[in-house]
Amino acid sequence: MFFILRWRDYVIDFTPENNGPGEAGRTECTISIVEGYEPLVRTTVAMGIARCSPQDQYNRELGRKISLGRAVKDLTGRAKLLKEERRVVWEAYFNRKSRLGDGPIVDLAP
C-alpha cells in the first residue's frame, strides 16, 4: 500500500507469520520511505509487531490492524504526525482493496 505524506512516498508492508495450532502467530508491519525508481530504495522509518497467544486463533486482519496501529504510533513519535496525517495512513489501509494494485495514493498537501 502506498501513500504520500509531507511530499514523500511511503509504503506499508505486512509480514504475517502463522506457526500453526498451539503456537503463537505474529504480524509485522513496516512503514518505509520509497526513493528512486530503478533501483527502488526503501528506508524503514517505523515498525509495529502484533503477537497472539498460543491459545488464540490467528487472525491475519486483526494482526494487520494491531501492527499498523503500533507502527503509526512509532511513526507519530518520530515524525510528530498530526491527527489528519494519521488519518491518511489509515485511509490508505482501509482503501487498499478499492482499486487494482496496492490501493490508492492519498496526498495530504497543505
What does the pLDDT look like over 61-84, one tens digit per residue?
899 999 999 999 998 887 788 888
The pLDDT value recorded for residue 55 is 83
Domains of the chain (ranges; CATH) run 2-96 (3.30.160)
Task: Indicate the pLDDT class of residue 28, thresholds 50, 70 and 90.
Answer: very high
Does residue 11 have a pLDDT over 80? yes
Does residue 13 have a pLDDT over 50? yes
Straight-line distance from the first to the last Cα atom of the chain, in angstroms, rounded to the nearest whole number:
22
Question: How many Å apart are CA 24 and CA 18, to the nearest integer?
Answer: 7
**Percent of the chain's residues with pLDDT above 70:** 84
**Whether 49 contacts 64, CB under 8 Å:** no
